[in-house]
């Protein structure tokens, strides 16, 4: 039976790989193959073997191809969206020299602080790269490697991001895109190229890095014979440059130059992330001023503690995740793994305002509220980076798009509604990173604009929820504790 063109969008995340098979014309999801990853480490260390990403990609594609019912010959394009920031170091045989240092590995916090000072402070960094180094940034991880494992750094013949590593396995070519590259700390959003002074500062040879595609949807090659054989696909399938996971999610939502600009998104996942696609280059120390996959910009803030932290509090209390009520006087900042926004990598959780009358359900609600307020404050900074006043009625009336696993949870949705006072859209698409990657793959195969493709597919549309009256009392109570805690921790008290 004849079958129309099919594209594959790969989401290689921290915990798993998903391969989404989509009808290239309609965007209809035909199947999603999945395979898990293992993350190792303790006391701030978070590492994974990149070879398992490749094995997981193979398994996910095989499962998706079987489930989709489409013949392998129908596949016309593939693109990889990967977890950002991870440091992959390869040796002469082009195999990993050690496990990859992942984005949430906080051991490189001292190196991030040293790099910030060495270039002249936060504003010197944002003027060049759009972002200030934090523990997550790849440049800090490279500096950590050079200081702690100098023999490994000396043997390194190539440095890749996770999505670069997989794209190279598909094509045999070393290539990246501006979106994911903008999270390294050595790519300048001001010039659109690697920054020579920063490379010199961190001891990085530019020859170790991949070349730069114009956009994430740029066709950079085709499947090699060996990759095609490993995936069970025909050789010659178009391969896009791909991008980072957040940039891909923006494409999947139809955000960008050909779509919605300056419309905020809140992703409730392992981390809490807020971003918006804009044509205004962000340069504020409060944010990561990333490039977008389509040539624009993606100001973004990420909090380390979101759904996993709240689930951990629920487990400690012996409650289901939706057994929560508003926290009352209790305030709980669930900084169980340090924090990134605000930049407090060594922080621990904080509980205050406890009374005899406080219930376990209120403590769980306080954990939701603490995580939500942290990420909603970051949202205000994202809007300012787009040149918008977050408190203006017109901006407050814009729908906040709520995505990620938490967007499917009743308590998360209601907590965000109550504390933000904004109207929400919960998109119908549930695999937005993979959908965005599929749109990049379709762009590589057809030459069409990936944001336009994604908008036509409609994954960014969904359930609209009207605003609730904002709970300013809770907001002010929590922000007061948050500001006090941040001041104490940053001041060394």
**Annotated binding-site ranges for substrate:** 84-85
**Residue 36 and residue 198 in contact, taking contact as beta carbons nearer than 8 Å:** no
DSSP annotation string for 307-370 = HHHHHHHHHHHT--TT-----TT-EEE--BTBBTTTTBTT---EEE---TT--HHHHHHHHHHH
State how far the Cα of 418 lies from the Cα of 73, in Å rounded to an integer.
Answer: 50
Write the burial class of residue 312 (CB in 10 Å: 0-12 exposed, 13-18 middle, 19+ buried): middle
Q: What are phi and psi of 146, to 5 degrees?
A: -65, -35
- From the CB of residue 316, how many other CB atoms can be counted at a distance below 10 Å? 12
- Helix (H), strand (E), coil (C) string for 98-132: CCEECCCCHHHHHHHHHHHHHCCCHHHHHHHCCEC
**Residue 221 and residue 168 in contact, taking contact as beta carbons nearer than 8 Å:** no
Coil, helix or strand for 226? helix
For 84-240, list the strands marked E by DSSP: 88-90, 100-101, 158-160, 175-176, 187-188, 193-194, 211-212, 219-222, 238-240
List the structure tokens of 131. 């972002």
Closest alpha carbon to 208 in 49, 97, 103: 97
492: left (phi over 0), alpha (psi -120 to 50) or beta: left
What residues are labeled active site?
A: 245
Report how far Cα 255 is from the mean position of its chain's Cα atoms. 15
Coil, helix or strand for 279? coil
- From the CB of residue 249, how many other CB atoms can be counted at a distance below 10 Å? 33
For residue 49, cis peptide bond before it (omega within 30 degrees of 0) = no
- Residue 131 pairs in a beta bridge with 288
Which residue carries 């504390």 as its tokens?
419
Closest alpha carbon to 32 in 55, 6, 10, 52: 10
């Amino acid at each position: 039976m004849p079958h129309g063109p099919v594209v594959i969008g790969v989401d290689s995340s921290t915990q798993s790989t998903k391969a989404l098979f989509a009808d290239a014309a309609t965007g209809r999801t035909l199947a999603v193959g999945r395979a898990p990853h293992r993350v190792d480490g303790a006391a701030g260390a978070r590492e994974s073997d990149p070879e398992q990403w490749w094995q997981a990609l193979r398994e996910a594609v095989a499962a998706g191809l079987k489930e989709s019912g489409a013949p392998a010959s129908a596949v016309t394009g593939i693109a990889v969206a990967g977890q950002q920031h991870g440091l992959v170091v390869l040796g002469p045989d082009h195999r990993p020299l050690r496990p990859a240092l992942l984005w949430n590995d906080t051991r490189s916090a001292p190196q991030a602080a040293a790099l910030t000072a060495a270039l002249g402070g936060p504003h010197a960094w944002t003027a060049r790269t759009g972002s200030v180094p934090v523990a997550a940034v790849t440049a800090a991880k490279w500096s950590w490697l050079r200081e702690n494992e100098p023999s490994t750094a000396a043997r390194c013949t190539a440095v890749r991001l996770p999505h670069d590593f997989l794209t190279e396995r598909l094509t045999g070519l070393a290539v990246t895109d501006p979106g994911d590259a903008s999270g390294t700390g050595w790519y300048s959003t001001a010039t659109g190229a690697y920054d020579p002074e920063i490379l010199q500062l961190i001891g990085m040879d530019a020859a170790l890095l991949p070349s730069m595609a114009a956009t994430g949807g740029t066709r950079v090659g085709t499947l090699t014979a060996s990759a095609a054989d490993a995936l069970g696909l025909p050789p010659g399938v178009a391969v896009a440059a791909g991008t980072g996971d957040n940039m891909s999610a923006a494409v999947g939502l139809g955000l960008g130059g050909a779509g919605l600009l300056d419309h905020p998104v809140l992703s409730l996942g392992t981390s809490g992330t807020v971003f918006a696609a804009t044509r205004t280059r962000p340069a504020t120390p409060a944010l990561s001023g990333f490039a977008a996959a389509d040539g624009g910009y993606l100001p973004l803030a990420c909090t380390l503690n979101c759904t996993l932290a709240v689930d951990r509090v629920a487990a400690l209390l012996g409650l289901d995740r939706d057994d929560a009520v508003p926290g009352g006087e209790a305030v709980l900042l669930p900084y169980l793994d340090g924090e990134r926004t605000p930049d407090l990598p060594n922080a621990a959780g904080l509980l205050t305002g406890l009374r005899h009358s406080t219930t376990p359900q209120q403590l769980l609600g306080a954990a939701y509220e603490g995580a939500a307020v942290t990420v909603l404050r970051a949202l205000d900074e994202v809007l300012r980076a787009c040149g918008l006043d977050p408190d203006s009625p017109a901006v407050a009336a814009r729908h906040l798009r709520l995505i990620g696993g938490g967007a499917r949870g009743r308590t998360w949705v209601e907590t965000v509604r109550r504390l933000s006072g904004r109207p929400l859209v919960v998109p119908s698409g549930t695999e937005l990173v993979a959908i965005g990657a599929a749109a990049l793959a379709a762009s590589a195969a057809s030459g069409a604009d990936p944001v336009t493709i994604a908008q036509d597919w409609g994954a960014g549309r969904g359930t609209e929820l009207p605003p609730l009256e904002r709970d300013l009392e809770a907001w002010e109570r929590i922000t007061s504790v948050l500001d006090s805690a941040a001041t104490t921790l940053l001041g060394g008290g």
